[in-house]
Amino acid sequence: MPRKPTLSPSRLTTFLACPVKFKWTYLDGRGKWYIKSKSYYSFGTSLHNVLQRYHDEGDQGVQTTSEAIAALEESWIDAGYGSQDEMMQALAEGKEIVANYIEQAQTAPITNKTILIEKMLRMDLGSFVLQGRVDRVDEWEDGTLEIVDYKSGRSEVREEDIATDLAMTCYQLLLREHYPNRSVCASIYALRVGQKATVSLSPEELEAFRQDLIKLGEIILNLDPNELRPQVKELCHRCDFLPLCKRDRDFASDYSELLQQLATQEQEHQTSSPQN
């Protein structure tokens, strides 16, 4: 029997942001030649690796701040930075973040037990399998399971961000599937500011989300990539696939029109500003 297609939170998020981006990223091999390394991915992955080791009971090598900083230096990913200076500045910031995290973790009262780290969870949703990797799952004293997701780019985190975050809702759905008798909640830990927010969706909310997810998955699975046409949107400015999309004549003309409009607005703004 053929294996069912798999959809992950990142695939779903990419599709919702731009179906053509989804095509270049996952369906059409031409896309891979245009994907560039991103410093923010390298930074986030470097921090994740160290925190994963810190919380892993089986890894005794990262238990103190100095061991964590040494681990960060050893496993630092330097892809995507514009210059050596930029990379060194990010490394210094990464060390500070790791040191603050460990200090906070070591002084906080121990009420949770980490039970899963970097765990891939899967769930059959009929025509496809939903698959997602959780950074960490903690078990509270009352038996509640908390998904903890680290974010290295955010300078704040609010409960409403988590409640409307597709990936965090997928993780809650996946964890409920594996632990149906437990309460489940999801937290985002904003590493730069050492701030965490937590949200728990009700079984009814998760069921409504599951139904929407099935509909979305079916739309994705039934789409014909050849029918997709790129549409100009804000995201295009910083999209790796812009050169590919510009090969579409309509897109290229709409995009240059947009650039002209932006240039005119900028000019008008400069001539109307008080110092002129």
List the one residue from 77, 242, 252, 258 that touches ligand SF4 (CB under 6 A). Answer: 242
Site for ligand SF4 in 183-202 (CB under 6 A): none
Q: What angle do CA 111, 114, 119 make, to 5 degrees?
A: 155
| 18 belongs to the binding site for ligand SF4 (CB under 6 A) | yes
Q: How far is CA 43 from the centre of its chain?
A: 13
Site string for ligand SF4, 47-86 (x = CB under 6 A): ----------------------------------------
Q: What is the 3-state secondary structure (H, E, C) of the chain?
A: CCCCCEECHHHHHHHHHCHHHHHHHHHCHHHHHHCCCCHHHHHHHHHHHHHHHHHCCCCCCCCCHHHHHHHHHHCCCCCCCCCHHHHHHHHHHHHHHHHHHHHHHHHCCCCCEEEEEEEEEEEECCCCEEEEEEEEEEECCCCCEEEEEEECCCCCCCHHHHHCCHHHHHHHHHHHHHCCCCCEEEEEEECCCCEEEEECCCHHHHHHHHHHHHHHHHHHHHCCHHHCCCCCCHHHHHCCCHHHHCCCHHHHHHHHHHHHHHHHHHHHHHHHCCCC
- Nearest residue (CB) to ligand SF4, 199 versus 236: 236
List the one residue from 79, 115, 120, 235 that touches ligand SF4 (CB under 6 A). Answer: 235
Task: Report the candidate in 274, 117, 103 with the shortest Cα–Cα distance to residue 191.
Answer: 103
| 258 belongs to the binding site for ligand SF4 (CB under 6 A) | no
Number of residues that bind ligand SF4 (CB under 6 A): 13
Nearest-approach distance from CB 17 to ligand SF4, in angstroms: 7
- Nearest residue (CB) to ligand SF4, 235 versus 259: 235
| 44 belongs to the binding site for ligand SF4 (CB under 6 A) | no
List the one residue from 20, 188, 201, 228 that touches ligand SF4 (CB under 6 A). Answer: 20
Stretch that binds ligand SF4, among 17-25, 46-54, 76-84, 202-210 (CB under 6 A): 17-25
| 129 belongs to the binding site for ligand SF4 (CB under 6 A) | no
| 223 belongs to the binding site for ligand SF4 (CB under 6 A) | no
List the one residue from 7, 9, 15, 21 that touches ligand SF4 (CB under 6 A). Answer: 21
| 15 belongs to the binding site for ligand SF4 (CB under 6 A) | no
Nearest-approach distance from CB 254 to ligand SF4, in angstroms: 10
- Nearest residue (CB) to ligand SF4, 197 versus 242: 242
How far is residue 160's CA from residue 265's CA, in Å, rounded to a whole number?
Answer: 33
List contacts with ligand SF4 (CB under 6 A): 18, 20-21, 24, 230-231, 233, 235-236, 239, 241-242, 245
